[in-house]
Amino acid sequence: MKPSALLENKPEGPSELTRVVVRKNNAINIIPVEAIRYIEAQDDYVMVYHTGGKALKQQRMKFFEESLSPSDFTRVHRSYIVRIAEIAKIEPYGKENYVAVLKGGDKLPVSRAGYKHLKDELGF
């Protein structure tokens, strides 16, 4: 087989995620991406906060950062990825620190890099 033929069959990069499958006890729960509010890093796991509650998933943040739509989700802190539509406001929190207040009332820390990214994304 020619090398060019191998390249044609090469899988593309990670495709955009449409759901997260989580095992809880003996059940398997499927969380549609549209239901995800934000994701929090917890060592080698992530806690997925969604409209139906929360679920622990053995996965790293980098996977979600690369697999979730950048037009819907953004990483605001090394430990948090948030759905942009969930952000109600961004408030100052101490000197040069910010916190994202979500529509549900949750408050997530925003790093300097996360704040710069939000400024670019939201255009403020």
pLDDT tens-digit readout, 8-25: 544 444 568 899 999 888
| Distance of alpha carbon 43 from alpha carbon 61, whole angstroms | 9
Sorted by sequence, the CB contacts under 8 Å of residue 116 that are 6+ apart come out as none
Query: Lowest-pLDDT range, 49-53, 89-93, 94-98, 99-103?
Result: 94-98
Give pLDDT tens digits for 69-97: 999 999 999 999 999 999 999 999 888 88
Q: How far is CA 124 from CA 70, 87, 102, 105, in A?
A: 18, 14, 18, 22
CATH of domain 17-122: 2.40.50.1020
Q: Where are the domains of the chain?
A: 17-122
Other beta carbons within 10 Å of 44? 8
